[in-house]
Amino acid sequence: MSLSILYWRNHSSHAHSEKSRRPPCVEYLLCLVAWTTLMPSARVSSNYLGGGFSFFSFYFILFIFHIYIYIYIHRMNCRLRHRGPDWSGLHCHEDCYLAHQRLAIVDPTSGDQPLYNEDKTIIVTVLFLPSSFPFSFFMNFLILRCWRRKFNIWIPTGSTTSCCWTLIGYKLKFMLIVDKPLLIIMHVNGEIYNHKQLREKLKSHQFRTGSDCEVIAHLYEEHGEDFVDMLDGMFSFVLLDTRNKSFIAARDAIGITPLYIGWGLDGSTWFASEMKALSDDCERFMSFLPGHIYSSKQGALRRWYNPPWYLEQIPSNPYDPIVLRKAFEKACSALMLFFAAVVKRLMTDVPFGVLLSGGLDSSLVAAVANRHLANTEAAVQWGSQLHTFCIGLKGSPDLKAAREVADYLGTRHHEFNFTVQEGLDALEEVIYHIETYDVTTIRASTPMFLMSRKIKSLGVKMVLSGEGSDEIFGGYLYFHKAPNKEEFHQETCRKIKALHLYDCLRANKSTSAWGLEARVPFLDKEFINIAMGIDPEWKMIRPDLGRIEKWILRNAFDDDQEPYLPKHILYRQKEQFSDGVGYSWIDGLKDYADGHVTDTMLMQARFVYPENTPTTKEAYYYRTIFEKFFPKNAARSTVPGGPSVACSTAKAVEWDAAWSKNLDPSGRAAVGVHAAAYKESMDDAKNGDLHDAAPNKLQEGFVEQAATVV
């Protein structure tokens, strides 16, 4: 789904001057061109209106102008149609426009947006765009009374507010015109997993649909702006309260669903699910911070998500596998929370599956989902056999491991192959959709993008994915070099806070490009809080104790009596997705960039791209594509920068001085750790230029040790 745009103009703003009022005369001409081009049947004579030419001219110009606004908003909304191909809508209320693209997952037949409360005083929607020009009473009169027959307007009766749906041609879908003010309007992008429990607390309210997102409007009625923490799920939404002409916007705790905020030169404020929907009109925009809420009353962001780990204080809760097992039965442990997180995300009315790479995280998601699938309503409707999906170059590590897991679990497995050339051909489209020039994100997004297209062609709308585990448990291979538990924990905190710029962005936009929704059980709020409360000493990678990366997670699911996974999968070394699809994928990208970026171009990069200057030809090539689609300074500022090794933050690069010689985000840059580290780096290690090269066979000895060490 998409939260397309919010455009809110502050009429008290100093920017609301005559000079800044838009559109100019040329745009009035565009209105006329657009009107006569798209809707030729709408041209009528002044006699039809029953008035003189001056009467017709005045209102006709007003009407054409507002039609232009509608057409423009509709065009912006169409840029996000890929996110929600099931339903499209555009809503107007006074000086507000709201548009929405829906992917129907829960309540497909009656969950179309905007959503309202019982008396339509609160409306919930995904795109919100207030106009800078009020929708006057005369415009309503003109459209509703004079042109009713010409535009086939339907005016419902018996409702608490007088509203109508106006169908104007096939180009403009539809718009909602309101005679009397609605009080609360909302659009939502996401899923509220605990909506059934929340409905129990809102029994005094009348729900109009079965949509999980409708609870937001009623919670706002009950609790005002302080209700967001009650929501369990992935979401971004905008809620308009017309009673006091204010609005709020909020994003989920981790930033699983995308959201951007922007500001126009005319004093307007915009919100959108993707940058492409607001980049034309906003001079300044940024990624909306996860776990935050924006209130028009204060005109600023404030954090609503305040977990203990956010301040990066070192936790001290002990790790005890026996306690975890008991807590599994009592729903009080990280193990049970993980089960609950997966089961909650099986709450769906459409076919679904699991993205299975054969690594620990996706394999656990598949194992847990497969074990509990029989107890869900979805299993009764769609069958008990879980679908799993994997992509890779022929002979890639992920394809082999995923096949083993699928055979072990008995899933209906779908294996897709792609070639390096197919990936290269898709690069421009991938960068346009994911809206970043970050190297590792593009490397991983491309095969995910190609796989999502094939999954959607099978009729699947929702998939589970394993993002987030590496950030929570320190699973990336560079964590082997963490000097102490304090540095380890602080790095995990930094990684979780940045997820919305990397893995969450990739998982959401790569799948949404094809109308597919990815859900991520590891990023459940409760699960994160439990896992981040464990003393980081237990997360530290200790070869002397047989602990590899994410040992506490592996050990928690290491059950000899009822095994979840084969041992060699449960203790498989971390493989980044961009590596696991086939090592020649990254090598092919580098070779391709070498052929398109010269040494001279790279030397001049600091002058061409002074912000986040690319340091490799591959990064330079991605940057040129990004700048073609998003040329504004604000766009390039939405992408993080800084040195990185094996997906580390810039701070963690300091853990090993040798890493500064090979700043590559691939896991194979973790020299001395990855079993297939870059050959040139390993040669340096053998020559004594790098230290600690021995542990590149850690995986082999740890499977046996970890099974016996508690």
Q: What is the DSSP string of 644-658?
A: -STT--TTGGGG-GG
Q: What is the pLDDT of residue 374?
A: 62
End-to-end CA distance of the chain: 44
Please say if the pLDDT value at position 8 is more than 50: yes
pTM of the model as a whole: 0.77
Place of tokens 């929600």: 84
Q: What is the pLDDT of residue 504?
A: 97
Q: What is the pLDDT of residues 217-234, one digit of tens each?
A: 899 989 999 999 999 889
All structural domains of the chain, each given as residue ranges with its CATH number in brackets, are 2-303 (3.60.20.10), 321-580 (3.40.50.620), 595-639 (no CATH)
Average pLDDT over residues 26-35: 47
Q: What is the pLDDT of residue 16?
A: 38
Residue 446's pLDDT band, with cuts at 50, 70 and 90, is very high
d(CA 243, CA 246): 8
Greater confidence (299 vs 37) lies with 299
Strand partners, 6: 271
Least confident of 217-221, 376-380, 556-560, 684-688: 684-688
Angle at 657 between CA 653 and CA 659, to 5 degrees: 55
Q: What is the pLDDT of residue 318?
A: 81
Q: What is the pLDDT of residues 481-497, one digit of tens each?
A: 999 999 999 999 999 99
Within 148-242, residue ranges assigned H as helices are 148-151, 195-200, 215-223
For 39, the 3-state DSSP assignment is coil
Least confident of 131-135, 291-295, 571-575, 650-654: 131-135
d(CA 648, CA 709): 28
- Per mean pLDDT, which of 272-281, 307-316, 454-463, 613-622 is the most reliable? 613-622
Average pLDDT over residues 52-77: 53
Cβ atoms 336, 328 nearer than 8 A: yes
Average pLDDT over residues 419-434: 97
Alpha-carbon separation of residue 607 from 597, 603, 631 (angstroms)? 15, 9, 16
d(CA 343, CA 367): 12
Task: Estimate to the nearest angstrom the gap between the alpha carbon of 456 and the chain centroid.
Answer: 18
Cβ atoms 335, 551 nearer than 8 A: no
Average pLDDT over residues 440-469: 93
